[in-house]
Chain A
Amino acid sequence: MDRGSRKSPERVFPRQLVFIVPPHIQKEIIRNGTAAEREAMLHQLSVSEMLRGGRQAFAGPAAAVPAGRRRRAVYDAGGSEQLPGLLVREEGGRASRNRAVNEAYSASGRMYDFMAKVYGRSSIDGRGMRLDASVHFGVRYDNAFWNGSQMVYGDGDGMVFNRFTRAIDVVGHELTHGITQNEAGLQYRDQPGALNESFSDVFGSLLKQWVKKQTAAQADWIIGEGLFTRRIKAAGLRSMKAPGTAYDDPLIGRDPQPAHMKDYYRGADDNGGVHINSGIPNHAFYLAAVAIGGNAWEKAGRVWYVALCDRLRRGSSFADTARITVAVAGELFGRGGKAQAAVQSAWKQVGVAG
């Protein structure tokens, strides 16, 4: 099976060299080191990544990355709940007359490019995995999800929700679930689950900002803009800038997201509130990105990306993530530097002590 274009290194370094430099530091050397250092680190990184189970997580310049190729497939579930449905568009294939098909295809391609160019990642598994999506799932289905191997999109009921392919950050959100599954593997319950959700919102939002070429200050930080029909009073589904304010409407009620630990949801619904409490780490990311300034995907995004790929584990908590992102920010951008101070202050502002 074609697993993308990564090749085994031709030279294998002595074993003791393989693990001495943490992956994110290796990545820095790849970005900033001399040509010889860079080459050595690239080899070392591919060996250690192979040994770690094939992850490819370094965030170097695109030129240093084995060139990946986009591979996409879009299926039409035709209103059934059988997956994947009928194959309707493949990589390089002609545009469909169906809007949802083209939206899913095009947004998946943007996410592929974003991950490859910004973080040097080849697809969601780091090995060029094909991105599969099914559209027209179910009847008037008000949802989109990741089933463990592909994206699935409903058409919405037309009264409250439009089709879910309409918002590019939704596509980025679903594909990030695939990345999380391949990396930290955050379990989908309580705090690890809320973090799983938050990473999907973070990289969904960063995809949108990257496509729109917006700085952290220019972005609206809304998740799912345009998903609600015009009759609903809403900016979108969630707000990373001001969790709890995305919608307030007589028909659907009010956005339940907390922005601070003091309002943490402790009930059992939604796997322990994974879509509710994600507001807290979402807001921490927003605060860090805005304090750092510039394009959010460059520094704050990289810190979160390295944490997700190299540091976080299945059961990581908010506090673990705070501690880890503060450490990674220091390692990547300087101990005691602006980025590290911004990340530290962001978690403090949402009531999470690292």
Chain B
Amino acid sequence: MKISFERSGGFAGMHLAVKFELGSLGGADAGRLRQLVSDAGFFDLPAQVLSKERQPDRFSYRLTVTGKERSHTVEVDEEVVPGQLAPLIDWLTRMAASR
């Protein structure tokens, strides 16, 4: 499984991105991420979850998860992140920031 994560916008307007193969992570992290993708119902999420009236200086996210048989990309605005997707975004944000 491959994951690509990008964050844009925010007051600072700095681009944050990380792209990796799940197999390249330690076993515990890989397992946890697999769980987060599954908890998010990621492959069933709409391709775009956008705010009608954007709140100034909020972040925008773009996530792509590629499995053996399918690949899905979701664009989501911070103020309307679905509850089940928030833990995955938090995890990926920390990961991208620590690299």
Q: A: which residues have CB within 8 A of B?
A: 142-148, 157, 159-161, 164, 170, 173-174, 177, 188-189, 193, 196-197, 200, 224, 227, 237-238, 252-253, 256-257, 269-271, 274-276
Contact = CB atoms under 8 A, between A and B. Distances in A.
Contacts, number: 77
B55 A269 contact: no
Interface stretch (B26-34, B38-46, B56-64): B56-64
B57 A145 contact: yes
A275 B12 contact: yes
A229 to B, nearest CB: 13
B54 A170 contact: no
A56 B79 CA distance: 30
B11 to A, nearest CB: 5
A174 B13 contact: no
B58 to A, nearest CB: 5
Which bucket holds chain B's interface residue count? 10 to 19
Contact of A196 (B8, B56, B58, B59): B56
8 smallest CB-CB distances across A and B, nearest first, come from A275-B13, A269-B8, A145-B57, A188-B54, A177-B56, A270-B8, A270-B9, A143-B10
Given A269-B6, A270-B8, A144 B57 contact: yes
A174 B57 contact: yes
A197 B55 CA distance: 12
Interface string B1-34: 0000010111111110000000000000000000
A276 B53 CA distance: 20
Interface of B: 6, 8-15, 53-60, 79, 97
A148 B13 contact: no
Contacts of B54: 188-189, 193, 271
A257 B6 CA distance: 19
B55 to A, nearest CB: 5
Nearest to B86: A81
Contact of A200 (B12, B55, B56): B56
B55 A271 contact: no
A146 B60 contact: no
Contacts of A252: 14
Given A142-B12, A275-B12, A157 B97 contact: yes
A164 B11 contact: yes
Given A146-B55, A200-B56, A256 B12 contact: no
A56 to B, nearest CB: 22
Kindly name the residue among A145, A170, A189, A237 whose own CB sees the greatest number of chain B CB atoms within 10 A.
Answer: A145
B11 A143 contact: yes
Contact of B12 (A189, A193, A237, A274): A237
B50 to A, nearest CB: 10
A160 B97 contact: yes
Nearest to B57: A145
A274 B59 CA distance: 12
B56 A276 contact: no
A319 B57 CA distance: 24
